[in-house]
Structure 1
Amino acid sequence: MNKSLKRYLLIFGLGAIVLSGFFAFKVKNDKLFALAKNIDIFATLVRELDSYYVDEIDPDELVTIGINAMLEELDPYTTYIPEEESADFRVMTTGEYGGVGALIGNRGEGNIIIMPYTGFPAQSAGLKIADQLLKVDTVSVVDKATSDVSSLLKGPANTEVFIQVKRGEDTLDFNLTRRKIVIKNVPYYGKVDSHTGYIKLSDFTTNASNEVRNAFLDLKGQGVDRLILDLRDNPGGLVNEAAEIVNLFIPKGKDIVKTIGKLENVNYTYKTTKTPLDKDIPLVVLINENSASASEIVAGALQDYDRAVLIGRKSFGKGLVQTTIPLTYNAQMKITTAKYYIPSGRCIQAIDYTQTRENGELTTVPDSLRKEFKTKNGRVVLDGAGIEPDELVATVTYAPISYSLVARNHIFDFATAYAYSHPTITDPSHFAISDEEYKEFVSWLEGKEYDYTTYLEKSVNDLTKYAEKEEYYDDIKSQIEEIKKKVNHSKEQDLITNQKEIRKILSEEIVSRYYFQEGMIEAGLVEDPAVKAAIDFLSVPNKLEQTLTASSK
């Protein structure tokens, strides 16, 4: 190559670099200008509205609505957190707050105690489920919103608070000292048979991994040699806690999850950094459609390393990572910054929010575009739609009468009345209402409203509507009316037909009056189809090993 040609190519190359830099600079500047221009327009618009609009406006409220509407165009996880909501956000991420330790809610007749947490001031002082809140300090809370009552109950640890409640016909006063409340990530653990331990993990806030660790060590001390980890209905939380939990069962130095985003500083690989507690114990993980985010990282990583068998239903499918960014005036924004990828390389995000924004409809990844990945042993797993269990357990469905009895608070109210007249009951795993007590419940329901539409009645109603649309109704009207007479439900008969499931729901609610959240979970494990499937699975010699090999797929 001659010197003049070399010189030409060098000048051309330098020119191309400068030109590309210029265009990149121009694009960036154009974007910054558009951003500044629109922010200025927005600020001017709010200012002029405040000056000229015929009625008074609240600029804070108006701007917050505007911000939330803008963020709704992205995904449901990118959210604005104004200063006044920062405390609630800290509770969600840390599980800690200052207060009395009770979940409150409104059941139609004012604010009541829904659940006092074991060992905290409300429960220790003797407050009970269904106590109706009348006063907090000097403030009447009879007609206040639940959120306002919750704010009054919260406060710095070691401060006093006066609470007045109505219990049945009695009015009771309590003087409590607020404490630092730490909501448990593991609300219950125990043995479900002589060999099998069970751990319920309901959240991934601070200290979740230590709670699982301590529960597991305690169970091992009781002679447990197989384990069920229940992640059903767990919405997720802190990724580092998920990584630590996986590390309890996976050897040191293994990838658990990678986060990959637009900026380099959000790209990170979480690895196991410690010697596991037990890398061999037979392990089953329970998941369902409400297991999301960090739950899916734990379940997915254990599945990808063929360390656990997953039983239940397909998980939620949230493969997005959020970062909290501080804003001015103590506000914050929780923003989606990355996608996460579990050890096999798959991302389990189910909804494509880019496509959703474009066509206005919730768009999921079609089956035809889901990619195949492989576990450590060569089993095929798919991306794009959550974590699929190795063994499916059907959804538990309840009769319409059961839904109605719960929704109209009849189960709740009868359990409260039962607890007032029965000082003690047996332990949660063995308690069940007797035949005579169920008859008392049926008698107690007389005169109470709990009407509902059965599935068969709904089908007949749908048939009538379709017949009317097709102008066939006059021809088959008499037949439809005859069918309606035959299927018109008898509430008394439904109470007999669905007695088994109603009694189970009622028994669990009654248990909560004596043993609180822990007891309610323990009682719920009895005849739980997923737990039963896990116990059966672990009881069959070599079944777990066979499932976790490539030949079984």
Structure 2
Amino acid sequence: MRYIYGIVFLFLFGINNNSFSQSNGFEVIKNLELIDLIYMNLDKYYVDEPKTGEISKAAIDAMLQELDPYTVYYHESNIEDYRLMTTGQYGGIGALIRKSGEYVFIAEPYENMPAQKAGLKAGDKIISIDGRTMKSVASDVVSDALKGSKGSSFMLEYERPNQGVKKIKVDRDEIKVPDVPYFGMVDDKGKIGYIKLSSFTQTASKNVKSAFEDLSSQGMEKIILDLRGNGGGLLIESIDIVNFFVAQNEEIVKTKGRISDENRSYKTRNNPLDLEIPIVVLVDGFSASASEIVSGSLQDLDRGVIIGSTTFGKGLVQRTIDLKYGAKMKLTIAKYYTPSGRCVQKLDYYHKNDGKVDEIPDSLIKIFHTKNGREVIDGRGIEPDISIEEENLARITAVLMVENIVFDFATEFAQNNPEIAPAKEFRITDKIYKDFKGYVLKKEFEYKTATQEYLERVLEAAKHEGYDKKIDGEFKALQKVVSASKEDDLDLFESQIKELLSNEIVSRYYYQEGRVLNAFQDDQPLKKAIEVLNNKSEYESLLKP
């Protein structure tokens, strides 16, 4: 067995004298030999039979985690996860799941997919799969058990609140998670189109083009592209989407890597769909990678207005490498640069501080200029032209979501209410919220307000400096005011909680599309986008220095 690992690593990564210095080459070979020797001795002498597959994967994962979170190894058993990431497709039942207590629950079945066709609903508790109990089983294990090849089937035992345990046969199918979960007109005059893009899989540009052409046939004159929550995907798909609004042969992205072969220029390849239509792109802190290529290049070329909050800041490019035995590796190979020459990468994974990853320091941030001469900066993601900061969740709101209290109430509500108003119109009435408050107050859970935690730190500092006795009375009075009170906080953060509760309830009746439509009611960035597009002078002024 000796030198097997070394030989495999040398083969996989193509180590040769031309790719690195002699000293570095020796260091690599030495470490590979040590790994081989450790593995050999474990296999030969360890007190129990080593689980070789598990410890090998753990070693590989730990090694890659030292680099960045995007360089990952896909074991042959996890190829479905890789396929879902790149194509949006997988074999399964088409449903989101979530863990609550000892069991995993159906969180949201996709419309017209096997889970929904089999009659499964959000809130159904998964008891067993093909006779195997799912009690105390991790969510990823349950997910793997639900997945499988198209046409295969399994027996599912589940429990629905107030209806007992049932057992059904579920047929798996090829599931395609939609890149564009919704598109339509969003203004009263029917002139502003809206496209929600949730991912950049192999069909993203095709689906965006189809949606754009459909909206154009309805009389669309302006467009909103919503990239909020879109964590990215395939680089070429982002370039093709930009190409819809930018002339052919325009440079959109440059990549630069340690190896000169990765220094490339990516230009638009096709004729555009529309070079004149006004564009607003919506972004947030979860818009990353390919989303930042689209928003950043449209900003750099002064082709559209960016509205929302600063994006995630992922300026790294990955490539997938096929390994032996059906495994794959996703490897960071370069940084990308938008047309102005900036790289949006926010975190510096190379220069870690005691294992901690810090942001690129302000002293290294540089100013670049758009086509019209507007100033933009690197190292901080994409900063919007109009900033609308995301509302932070109150502690009680976060707890209500994490503890599945909103989810469970929505399950109960759907059982007792066969129908609700259309998704765009549904609102949480005073009666519904009163019922929800009563439901919450019966639950046992604890939390602290952020102010309460801050005060506790102040008291610790006061004790350290000897001031605690002097401020004792004032501190206790203040602590009483800011201590968590479920009833008071349910009133204080009513509008925030109502918004999340409404969206969860709507999903039980109208699925993913319903969530999008219902969220329009309180969507301030969307409302600002419509306002800007309806004001030609403001739109044009935002694209000038």
TM-score, length-normalised on structure 1?
0.90
Determine if the alignment matches structure 1 residue 107 to structure 2 residue 100.
Answer: yes
User: Once the 2 structures are TM-superposed, how far is the Cα of residue 110 of structure 1 from its aligned partner?
Assistant: 1.1
Question: Quick check: 2:441–2:487 contact (8 Å CA) kept in 1?
Answer: no
Match of 1:19 in 2: none
Q: Give the helix-richer structure, 1 or 2.
A: 1
Secondary structure of the structure 1 residue equivalent to 2:299: helix
- SS of the equivalent of 1:463 reads helix
- Going from structure 1 to structure 2, the CA distance change for 1:127 and 1:474 (only over 3 Å counts) comes to same
Does 1:130 pair with 2:126?
no
Q: Are the structure 2 counterparts of residues 26 and 425 from structure 1 closer, same or farther at C-alpha, using a change threshold of 3 Å?
A: closer
Distance 1:123 1:476, change over 3 A: same
Q: Is 2:53 aligned against 1:60? A: yes
Q: How many residues align?
A: 526
Q: Distance in 1 between matches of 2:115 and 2:21?
A: 57
SS at match of 1:356: strand
Q: Which residue pairs with 2:12 in the alignment?
A: none
Confirm whether residue 296 of structure 1 aligns to residue 292 of structure 2.
Answer: yes
2:91 and 2:174 in contact (8 A); partners too: yes
Q: Are residues 1:323 and 2:319 paired? A: yes
Does the C-alpha gap of structure 1 residues 465 and 106 become closer, same or farther in structure 2, counting only changes over 3 Å? same
Alignment correspondent of 1:222:
218
Q: Aligned pair in 2 of structure 1 residues 288, 61: CA closer, same or farther (>3 Å)? A: same
- Cα pair distance change 1:25/1:241, threshold 3 Å: closer
| AA aligned opposite 1:35 | V
Give the conservation status (yes or no) of the 8 Å contact 1:405–1:450.
Answer: no
Q: Shift of the alpha carbon at 1:264?
A: 4.1
Aligned pairs for 1:385-464 (under 5 A) are: 385-464=380-459
Query: In structure 1, what is the equivalent of residue 40 of structure 2?
Result: 47
Q: State the match for 1:211 in structure 2.
A: 207
Secondary structure of the 2:536 match is: coil
CA contact (8 A) 2:447 2:484 kept: no
Partner of 2:9 in structure 1? none
2:167 to 153, 173, 176: 173
Is 2:230 the counterpart of 1:237? Answer: no
Q: Is the 8 A contact 1:399 1:498 kept in 2?
A: yes
Quick one: distance in 2 between partners of 1:350 and 1:265? 24
Q: CA deviation at 1:297?
A: 0.5
- More deviation in 479-488 or 92-101? 479-488
Which residue pairs with 1:284 in the alignment? Answer: 280
CA separation in 1, counterparts of 2:158 and 2:240? 43
Q: CA shift at 1:356, angstroms?
A: 2.2
Query: Counterpart of 1:460 in structure 2: which amino acid?
Result: L
Amino acid at match of 1:469: H
- Report the Cα distance in structure 1 between the residues aligned to 2:194 and 2:182, rounded to whole angstroms: 8
Q: CA deviation at 1:212?
A: 1.1
Which residue matches 1:121?
A: 114
Q: Aligned to 1:133, what secondary structure does the other structure show?
A: strand
Q: Which moved more, 1:431-440 or 1:485-494?
A: 485-494
Q: How does 1:468-547 map to 2 (within 5 A)?
A: 468-547=463-542
Q: Quick check: 26-35 or 441-450, which moved more?
A: 26-35
**Could you tell me whether the CA contact under 8 Å between 1:299 and 1:387 is conserved in 2?**
yes
2:102–2:136 contact (8 Å) kept in structure 1: no
1:192 corresponds to 2:186: yes
Give SS of 1:505's match. Answer: helix
Shift of 1:241: 0.6
Say whether the 8 Å CA contact 1:252–1:275 is kept in structure 2.
yes
CA shift for structure 1 position 135: 2.9
For 1:25 and 1:200, the matched residues in 2 are separated by 47
Q: Which moved more, 1:25-34 or 1:265-274?
A: 25-34
* Distance (Å, rounded) in 2 between the aligned partners of 1:27 and 1:321: 22
Q: 1:173 to 1:298 in 2, by over 3 A?
A: same
Provide, for residues 190-222 of structure 1, a one-character-per-residue CA deviation record: whole Å limited to 9, x for no partner.
222133222111111110111111122222223
- Is this contact kept in 1: 2:309–2:389, CA < 8 A? yes
Query: C-alpha offsets along residues 220-272 of structure 1, whole Å, 9 cap, x if unaligned?
Result: 22322211111112111100110111111111111111222233443332211
SS in 1 for 2:303: coil
- Report how far residue 131 of structure 1 moved: 0.9
Q: Please name the residue that 1:12 is paired with.
A: none
> Does the CA contact (< 8 Å) of 1:202 and 1:234 recur in 2?
yes
- Unaligned runs of at least 5 residues, structure 1: 1-23
From the CA coordinates, give the structure whose radius of gyration is larger. 1
State the identity as a percent.
Answer: 44
Compute the TM-score of the two structures, normalised by the length of structure 2. Answer: 0.91
Q: Distance in 2 between matches of 1:479 and 1:94?
A: 59
Taking the aligned partners of 2:458 and 2:33, their CA distance within structure 1 comes to 57
Looking at structure 2, the residues matched to 191 and 117 of structure 1 have their Cα atoms a distance apart, in angstroms, of 23
